[in-house]
Structure 1
Amino acid sequence: MKDSGLRIRIERELREKFIEVCRQQDRPAAQVIREFMRAYIADNETPETPEKKKRVSR
């Protein structure tokens, strides 16, 4: 369920090239961005260990 938005400022040329590639692949730009975000999180998220939780809660 999508219930939130994200507004970013990017260079016009970057946006135009991105939109064009999405069109060539017949994929909505928002879908591509969501997939990138999920992959980025999966690649960079670290599970919290009990030791980290203890240090944070002090």
Structure 2
Amino acid sequence: MTTGDKAENTDEKLKGAVKKNVGKAVGNERLEAQGRAEQAKGSLKQAGEDVKDAFRS
């Protein structure tokens, strides 16, 4: 996995966390759910990249 891929996945997880927390703070359930979804998507991508790395070694 390239450093760029790691950064993108981390960035996506971070954006999701921010959205989730902002949504929770202002009482916007939709924004909070979108944030959770983005976090999960970033984590899933990261896990996929980790699997690829395991097979490359």
Shorter-chain TM band = 0.3 to 0.5
Highest RCO, 1 vs 2 (Cα 8 Å, sep ≥ 6): 2
User: Which has the larger share of helix?
Assistant: 2
Instruction: State TM-score, norm by structure 1.
Output: 0.35
Instruction: State TM-score, norm by structure 2.
Output: 0.35
Rg (Cα) greater in structure: 1
